[in-house]
Amino acid sequence: MPALEKLKTLITKNKIEYLDMKFCDLLGILHHITLPADALNSELFKYGVGVDGSSMAGFTKIERGDMIALPDAETVFVDPFFDKPTLSFICDLMSVDKDVEEFSRNPRRITRDCHKYLQNILPGTKVVLGPEFEFYLFDDVKFHQSPEEGYYFIDSEEAEWNTGREGEKNLGYKVPYKGGYHAAPPIDRTFNLRSEMATLLADVGIGLKYHHHEVGGSGQHEIEVAFDEMCRMADKTALVKYFIRNHSFRSGKSATFMPKPLFNEPGSGMHVHQFISDDKGSIFHDKNGPANFSQTGLYYIGGLLKHAAALFAFTNPSTNSYKRLVPGFEAPVWGTYSVGNRTACIRIPGYQRQWKTQRLEFRPPDGTCNPYLCYAAMVMAGLDGVKNKIDPGSAVDQNMELLTEKELSKIPLLPTSLTKALDALERDYDFLLEGGVFTQDLIDAWIHLKRRDVEQIRVRPHPWEFYLYYDK
């Protein structure tokens, strides 16, 4: 932890007036509380600041609502979105039932304990992750639901549907349907905005791999960040979403990581590249193995595939997630692995040339996940494969969308709804409990929250139902 004196020097150097404490609830939603700069002292890092856990999803009941947000000094950064100079910290959530102790549902605890469990299975190693952040940028967003009406309205100035837009000046250069992948300016009109985001992220230690326009013609983009160790990457994931949303908002645009905000347009995922590394590099590498993959790496794939259905409850935890996971949009629907095949659930990138980062890409996740739970769940599944030597079988290198029904019948179908994913989790979660990483209490709370989402959607009329049934 940086010395308190260093933090005070940082406050003086940047003329800091406020301290902002950020923390995630169980669903992965970011919250914050702001303190004056003179609150920075040793007591702050020992006792933290009191917050109401009963007001945040998945935490405590109102009669036991008091909790502590304990800042982690290693996460400090100057927050660029506050008009008044502000230092931000990411916090752990602590229980005060007896003394100040770590709360079992604290999301950051789960990734840390997952790393500790890794040391029992593969001593001296670490999990390295590299997520791809896909998101849409919109210029107008309206939605409403009440007893007498329900609608959403979204607009993007670069969308093909605006080629004939009248009123304000229209300069053309719209993105064709599914024609946005790596589009160049002036069709890609937000490349400067993405570069600004990347620069802001670099200022807080989040490196850039690359950014580009994505396939979706109505404002879909991707920023892929540099690899990092799992615990740090979970923190970074929360910050990437925070930075993208806030810089878009102050630039007059609205960013969303919603998996499928537009009908019949490409959905946004959060593919996660991952490997286990020792001090020499990726232990997934074997120059004599299939696709240069080691037996340990194949076992890891076996664990991911065995538990994939249950993992979806954490990697794809919204009802909207399953509107993205449909054939025809390069979205994973079947439980397979392959080399370079983007319709597979797990892809071994065919362009890999550096053995030290030999990796796989788990393609199902999306941005509605809690990154701490999502990353830990994937790693626990992979480690279960390593521990129990789970054979993933042969790779399927064909385009899944072109296989016959007979061929597809031999391949496991992944969950097609949040209900099915939650059902799978209820049947298969023992691997998550290993090492006390996940707890029965947390899993029960998660299933309860997510079934509530399902029920909220179930009881509300859908606009398309009026087309189907109104005159029946």
Q: Which residues are part of the catalytic machinery?
A: 52, 132, 134, 214, 222, 271, 342, 361, 363
- Token pair listed for 92: 């752990």
Phi and psi, residue 347, nearest 5°: -115, 130
Task: Provide the angle, in degrees to the nearest 10, between the axes of the packed helices 230-250 and 191-203.
Answer: 130
Q: Are 219 and 156 in contact (CB under 8 A)?
A: yes
Q: Are 183 and 230 in contact (CB under 8 A)?
A: no
- Token pair listed for 346: 């797990």
3-class SS of residue 434: helix
3-class SS of residue 349: coil
- Give 387: exposed, middle or buried? Use CB within 10 Å, 0-12, 13-18, 19+: middle
Q: Are 82 and 21 in contact (CB under 8 A)?
A: no
Closest C-alpha among 112, 62, 118, 121 to residue 90: 112
Q: Please state the separation of Cα 67 from the chain's center in Å.
A: 25
Unique residue bearing structure tokens 């850039």 = 208
Q: Could you please report the per-residue DSSP string of 170-216?
A: ----PBPTT--TTPPTTTSTTHHHHHHHHHHHHHTT--EEEEEE-S-
